[in-house]
Structures are given as C-alpha cells and as structure tokens.
Chains A and B, each alone.
Chain A
C-alpha cells in the first residue's frame, strides 16, 4: 500500500510539521507585535477605555465692592452628571431619573445635547442641584449607573437684581463661543461670564479647571473614583475688588421708581464707577446652574428688554446736557466769555430765514449771559452760540471731546455713540442739497439731531467738567497700569471751568431743577429732555456734588419720564446719600418722587428735532 507506506508518511509528516511551525510562528509573531512592539499604543487605548476625565470646576473669584462687601461669591452647590456608554443607555438612565425626581423635558434634551458634543465626558444634567435632589438621587444610585455627583461651587449674588447689569451673569459656555474662541481655555461645560463684570474679567475670575479621573466599566457605570491617577486640583479664580459702592448701588435700586425704564451711572471725578444701574433688571442668580427655558424666553421677549444694559448700550439724544459741550467749545475757542450776551435776546423764539425756532420758554428769557443761559437752558442763546461756532467747529470739537467714542468703561458691549465725523456725513445721508447747514447747526447746538449718546459717555463729559477738565476712562476695576493717551483735556481755562460749574449750580439753585435743591448740599447739574418720536420724551439729569469740590458725578436717564426735572430728584438723592452717608438719607426738601408732574408748560426744554427737520426740508422743497 504505497499511499500509507512509512516513507511516504514520513515525507508528509515533515511537510505537516513545517506547516504547523509556520502557522504557530505567524501566531507568535502577531502576538509579539501586538503585545510587545505596539504595547504602548494599546496600553493607552485601554486606559482611555476605562478612565474618564471629569472636570473639576474652580471656584470663581469673588467680586468685592470698594469696602470689601461681596457683590458675587462662590457658594457650595452640587452638580449632577451622567456617564453613559451610548445614547440609548443615557436616555434610559434619564428616564429612570425622571421617576425619582422631576425632570423637565428641556433638561433631558440639554443633557442629550451635551452628551452628543462630548461622549466621554460626563454629561451635565444639573449644574446646580439642591441638596434634596442630590440626596434623592443618592438613594437610588443603584438604579442610575454612571451617576456622578460632585460638590461644585456655584455663583451667588447677595444683592440680586440690584447689581444685575453691573456684574452680569454666568452660564455654560456655548458651542458657538468655543468655535469662536471667545473664552480662553474654556472647555465644553465650563462656566463663563456672559455679561457685565463677569464677562469683562472672566479670564481672571474663572480660574483653571481641575481634572480627576474616574474608572468606568463597559456599561458606563462608575467603578472607582480617582483610580490612582493623581487629580489636577482646580485653581481658584482671582478675586477682584471693584470701585463700586454696594451701599449706593442698593440705594439706587431702592429708590428707582418701579416699572420705569432707564439707567443711572455714578462716577467719581477720577473715573471710578460707584454705581451703575439699569432698569428693568433681572435676577442674576436665576442664571446660575442654567436658566430655565421659559424664564430665558420671558427675558428675551419682554418689550422692556430687561437684559439690555441701558447705561452703556442704550443711545439717547443728549439734549440739553449737551449745551454744556456747546458752551465749552465756544469758551475753548475764545469766541465768548462767561458774561457774554448774545445779540438777540430771547423772546421765545429765533428766526432763521423765514422760519422761527422756538425756545422751550414761550415767554422768553430776555437777554442772558452764558451762566444765565445754562441755568435757564435757554435755547435761543445756544442757537446763536451754535451759529457763531459753525457746524464744522461743533462737530470737530465734539469729536475731540469724545462724543464719537466709547467711554471705554470696562464692561462688555458698550455702544459707540452716533456722532458725525464731518459735515460730509450729512451730504452722504441726505444729499448735498437736501439739508440745511444752519438748521442743523441749531439742532446740534442744543443736543438734538444726528447725535445720540450713551449715558456713561455723557456722565464722562460731566466728570471732566466736575474735575479738572480732563476726560478720563471710567472703570470698575482699577487698571493695572494707567491708560496713557486715553485722557483727553477739554482745553478749558480754570476760570471757564469754574464758571460753567457755577452755571450748573444755578440750574439747581434757581434754574430748571430748582425743585430738587437741597439746603445743605450744593448740587450742580443739568436737566435734559430728549425728544422721543415714539411717545413721551426721555428725561435726563446729570449732576455732581458738592459743587465746590465734587466727590461724585451722577447721571440718569428715564425713558418716557416727560423730562429732566422728573429725573433730577433721584440723582440728587443719590448724590446726597453718597456725600452725606446713609445716616441722613432723608432730604430736607420735599421731592415729588412718586408723581410724574405735568410739566410741559413749565419746561418744554427743547424743541422737537423731527419737526425742525421736517420744517427745514419742507422749506427747501418749496
């Protein structure tokens, strides 16, 4: 039998043994490659398999007021997160969680969304869970695999809505923020400042996130914390001390008439912001841990726009307070002196061509010098002063005096005022023949026309008047290095400056704001009524006290207030509170803070700009 004779079998056995050796050789070499040569790679892969990084949020830096009172602090809170191996199991655990605690569908959706963006990080369910929630979840931990609860600092604003527009609020960084690199070093889930001081100083307030590792199994269940890997401890945010006077800020909030929209800014002559208030406001504490969807919707759709910081974002016609700028320009250029009278005395109107521009005082003011004209806010005087200056000079000096720039306050999203750079602006906007330079000049001279300013920028101008004539950059946190080049001088002589202050004192002493005067505190200030085509005019008042040695400059605007004299009492109260301290809050003079007196006949402070323009254009067409 040749097939199975020993010789043939031996030959085949040799071949078979070679095949065996080859096969086992291939296996051994493959294992050698995987286990020895590529060991490191698979070791790393194995660790990422089972070790999940969990970010440890740092406590945000405390924000202090100038006396060390807390504006924003980090309190103890809890976060609830979920680790899941798949979207399905995440949903399953969320469903079971919903049986234990009430779980809003929006929370579920947000969690799923977070899971989608970072599958291996624990998905945040609650950034700020109550102790009750946490203890309920702990009770049912066995049914909730992947549950990660950690104590996490949460933001707390003791003063609540009173400081809303000042500090802003915090929230989880959005994908859009991350894509655009708005927050240096932020990661998915980081809590960042979204507005106000929280936003401007986010870099230092935020601190640096720590990291710990937790070991998970294939089903996403938590196996061990730390897992022997040293955690990177979080670095606390750096606290900041602001120039804010929290007592004053709260005081502003307490006296602000309910429901009135507007803003108030208080600066020292050196530019330190003592109070910054905008109404309506919101409770910044509502944002901590993620604002509820319906609350967010309400804030965004409210016609009163509570999220809008009117002190730095709202732009209003500067109106009469701008008359001081017109006066400063003329004094600076040496066109007039403090005692200069205008050729035409005020008889209630001013004729330009065949058109009469009215003064707010129909009876007329008679012949006034500059001080008197400021005190009475006489439009006819400033019409003539404007014509004497010329539109080019008004615009050039306005630009010089910072009416075209942001104040530079250290808060985010301050608006740039609207102010033309040259007269070419009008040619461009209306066409060279369709606007009247003299009529525009009259408008600009009394703070109307194509000129809208933010409150903070106007207060900054008065700060220069109250100080040594230098425009400074207002700030809430003292800059590390003095900002050279930002300070601009109005270019007024000391006596002119003193004269203008004298005029502002007269405004309160016997002028348009005389109803707000105090017996023992000399307040200087200027009323204003910004014409508003949409309804009642907006009221302005910007003032400072004590008049001889100003300690504080306060400006306020109230929308639909009718006009400036309505606003003046509030500003005066704030000045008094600051200068005299909280012990003597009550003012000697009775101030009608609750009523909005019908004052149209008393002070039709300025003409309606729109009607002027309409008249001018109508005449040109004819």
Chain B
C-alpha cells in the first residue's frame, strides 16, 4: 500500500500542470464566433478529469504482482473487444466511417484500442521481464511481435492508423528498454523503409545495397539476415499494389503530407489551416481565446486532434515551448522512474507508458505543423475525450505505484 507523502511529487506536478494547461486550451477551443461542437466540452472534461483522478488512485493501489498475473487476462479481454468493435463499432467525428467506438444505446463508452494499449504494455512487460537474457534473434522476438501484432492488425482493420502507430511505438520502446540491440531494432524496422522507398527504383536499390552492407557489418544470425533481406524484397514488391489498394482518402492523406497544397480544400485542408493558425501567432500568439482562425472555425477539430493548434495560435511560440517543456519534463520523470524501478516488470511498465505517451505527443504535435502525416490521434491531457484521458491517468497511476515501490525498497536511491 502506498502511504501518504510517498507519491512521486515531480510526476504529480507535471501531470497536474499539463491537465490544467489542457483544460485551459479546451475551454478556449470552445470559444468561437461560429457555433461548433466544441462549445461546452470543457466543463464536461471536468467529469473525465475527476474520473481520471479516480483511475489514477485506483491504479496506484494495484500491486504490480497482481497486474503481472492479470496481464494475459486483460490482454484477452482487450483483444476480444477489438474483435467485437469491428462488428458493432461506430465512428466518431471526422473518422465517422471507421469502427473504433463501443457504444451502448448511442452513448459512446470508449475505444477498446485504448484498453488494448495498456494490456499490450502489461503483457509485453510480463514477457520481456521473464526472459533470462535480452532477445538476440528474430526467433526470440516472435512472441513480442505476436503480442503487439494481433491488436495492431485489428486496429488497422477499423481503420485507425493513429492508434496502430502507437502500438508500434510501444513495441519499439519496450524492446529497446528490454535490451534488444539497436541494430536489431533497425533490422526490424528496415522493411518499413523499403515500403517507403519502393516508389523509386533507384532509391530502393540503393537502400537494398546499404542494407546488405549493414548485414555484413553487423553480422546477425544467418537466418535472421535472410529473413530481414527477404522481408525488404517483399515490401519493395508489394508496395505499389498495396498503394493502389488504399482508399483514395488514404492516398490523399499521404500525398498531402508531402504537399498539402495538392488539395487545399479537402485533403490538405486540415494541414494547411492548422499550420496557418500556428504560423500566424508569432512569439506571443493572439491571446487565450482570441485566435481568429479558431474563432471563425477555420481550424478543424480544434477540441480534439488539433487542440495543439489552438495552443499554438493563441499562446504563440512561447506557449508551445512551455507545453513542450512540460511534456519533456514529464517524460524525463517517467524515464527516471523506469530506470529506478524495483523490478524489471515495473521498469518495463513505466517505460512502456513513456513509449505510449511519447508516440501520442510526437505524432499529434508533429502533425499540427505538418511534421508528421495526419492521423486521428489525441494529445494526452489536452484533447477532449473521456476514455483516453482515463487511460492516461490510469497509466500514470501505475507509474506512481512503480515509483512508490522503488522508493520503499530503496531502489530509488541507486
């Protein structure tokens, strides 16, 4: 049991500040001259914040051993829900046609994908912490790949590219923390590079030569080398047919990432308007609630996926820098806690949470300035949305428990 005063203060402070910042931004997002759906969401968010605090307290009281024991069960439930949602799920907002939400009687309860993220972290932590030495071959990575792969594919099927990306982020973060060598991770990631470069024979060819050089240099196991190389070849071959199989809107999203002006009225609209709002702000911004682009509804989804554009427009570079600094501070604390955890499972859970949050923040903030392609992915603490806020709070509760345990065992002082 965690006793009063043992809570990790820096983590609490960082989360608290980010929550307040997020509420301010959410309040401002509703202040428009044109009625939008965002009008009254900020006080509804208070409910979710309360629920989040509850989730945090609860999670911080769960013993890690119980979690470790319950991880497969939780994973099973989450996977089941992901299957169910494919059958009966509903869409939301701009992604109205995808099946991401579980709704009962028209009330959206939440996205199973959020639960699956936590379940994946727990199960992966359980598996990796049980290994006697870090995975060194692809064979060793088969199980982690399966753990992540099943929910990843189910989420892709919805389709929800953003959430799928988060699974990948968690996967790489936790493998890294479990001691998988960087070169190994590079090999695993290499087919994705092939997929991207396949559009130019010259680039792809060069990449394959480079990959061969890396294999010779880093000398992985022969079987692994063959598999990696073949996977790259396969990706190069299927890239074009795969592209043609994508829905036009998906193609457009990727194309507009490269150049939003291709279709400024539709596919590129979000990217352009967000960048315009942020860029017009300057150093100090237009003032909280005063952003003209937001007020006049040029800024799309300003209370959910693009809430950081509101921060950028109204608080300027200064506000952006403060928000980023707070996130960075939070992540540093998570890193510290992961490093000083009392046992491998706890450490991996903390680092998994870091991977989860980092992927969300980097992708979401990056897409507002066209640094990343646009995917529907919420920004922790800022975006309006119940289940995600609760999940984030619960995750931080788990990390609080990890911190408390390490303090109790003295590991924190190492």
Contacts and interface: CB of A to CB of B under 8 A. Distances in A.
B90 interface: no
Contacts of B347: 4, 9
Interface in A15-35: 15-17, 20-21, 23-24, 26-28, 30-32, 34-35
Most chain B C-beta atoms within 10 Å of own C-beta, residue among A2, A4, A26, A217: A4
Interface stretch (B79-87, B217-225, B289-297): B289-297
A221 B35 CA distance: 12
Interface of B: 33-34, 129, 131-134, 176-179, 182, 265, 273, 275-283, 292-293, 295-298, 312, 316-317, 320-321, 324, 327-328, 331-332, 335-336, 338-339, 343-344, 347, 351, 354, 358, 362, 365-366, 369, 371, 414
A219 B295 CA distance: 12
Given A30-B369, A35-B312, A3 B133 contact: yes
Interface string A30-61: 11101110110111011101100000000000
A13 B335 contact: yes
Contacts of A217: 33-34, 295-298
B320 A31 contact: yes
A471 interface: no
A522 B129 CA distance: 127
A30 B178 contact: no
Nearest to A41: B279
Contact of B282 (A13, A21, A39): A39
Contacts of B338: 9, 13
Nearest to A43: B280
Contact of A50 (B133, B178, B293, B332): B293
- Kindly list the 6 A-B residue pairs having the minimum CB-CB distance in the complex, ordered from nearest: A42-B279, A46-B280, A217-B296, A218-B297, A35-B317, A4-B344
15 contacts: A3-B133, A3-B178, A4-B344, A20-B358, A24-B328, A28-B324, A35-B278, A35-B283, A42-B279, A43-B279, A45-B280, A49-B298, A50-B298, A215-B296, A218-B34
A223 B297 CA distance: 11
A8 interface: yes
Contact of A34 (B179, B182, B369): B369
A223 B277 CA distance: 18
Nearest to B327: A24
B131 A34 contact: no
Interface hub of B33, B328, B344, B358 (most chain A Cβ within 10 A): B328
A16 B176 contact: yes
Contact of A218 (B280, B296, B343): B296
A6 interface: yes
A86 interface: yes
Nearest to A35: B317
Contacts of A35: 278-279, 281-283, 312, 316-317, 320
Given A9-B347, A13-B339, A20-B332, A221 B282 contact: no
B335 A17 contact: yes
Contacts of A370: none
Given A217-B33, A221-B34, A23 B312 contact: no
A34 B297 contact: no
Given A1-B344, A26-B371, A12 B296 contact: no
Given A15-B176, A21-B328, A36-B282, 16 more contacts: A1-B132, A4-B129, A4-B343, A12-B177, A23-B358, A27-B324, A27-B365, A31-B321, A32-B317, A34-B275, A46-B277, A47-B280, A49-B273, A216-B296, A217-B298, A219-B34
A619 interface: no
Contacts of B295: 217
Contacts of A12: 176-177, 179
Contacts of B336: 13
A372 B129 CA distance: 133
B282 to A, nearest CB: 5
B298 A6 contact: no
A217 B291 CA distance: 12
A486 interface: no
B409 to A, nearest CB: 13
A24 B320 CA distance: 11
Interface residues of A, number: 44
A10 interface: yes
Given A31-B278, A35-B320, A217-B33, A20 B331 contact: yes
Contacts of B282: 35-36, 39, 43
B371 A30 contact: yes
Nearest to A12: B177
A31 B34 contact: no
Contacts of B134: 3
Contacts of B321: 28, 31
Contacts of A28: 320-321, 324
B296 A42 contact: no
Contacts of B365: 27
Interface in A66-105: 86
Contacts of A47: 280
Contacts of A26: 371
A23 B344 contact: no
A2 B133 contact: yes
Contacts of B296: 49-50, 215-218, 223
B349 to A, nearest CB: 13
Nearest to B179: A3
B331 A86 contact: no
Contacts of A8: 179
A86 B283 CA distance: 33
A301 B319 CA distance: 69
Contacts of A39: 279-282
Contacts of B278: 31, 34-35, 42
Nearest to A11: B179
A1 B178 CA distance: 12
A581 to B, nearest CB: 66
A36 B276 contact: no
Contact of B344 (A3, A27, A31, A34): A3
A219 B278 CA distance: 20
A578 to B, nearest CB: 64
Contacts of A2: 133
B127 to A, nearest CB: 13
A28 B283 CA distance: 13
Nearest to B336: A13
Nearest to B298: A218
A198 B280 CA distance: 46
Nearest to A31: B320
A72 to B, nearest CB: 42
A418 B182 CA distance: 94
A49 B275 CA distance: 13
Given A20-B335, A36-B317, A39-B279, A46 B293 contact: yes
A3 B365 CA distance: 33
Contacts of A218: 34, 296-298
B178 A42 contact: no
Contact of B366 (A27, A49, A50): A27
Nearest to B414: A6
Nearest to B129: A4
A316 to B, nearest CB: 58
Contacts of B132: 1
Contacts of A3: 131, 133-134, 178-179, 344
A31 B280 contact: no
Contacts of A4: 129, 179, 343-344, 347
A38 B280 CA distance: 9
Nearest to B280: A46
Nearest to B321: A28
Nearest to B328: A24
Contacts of B362: 23, 27
Interface in A303-318: none
Interface in A230-281: none
B265 A34 contact: no
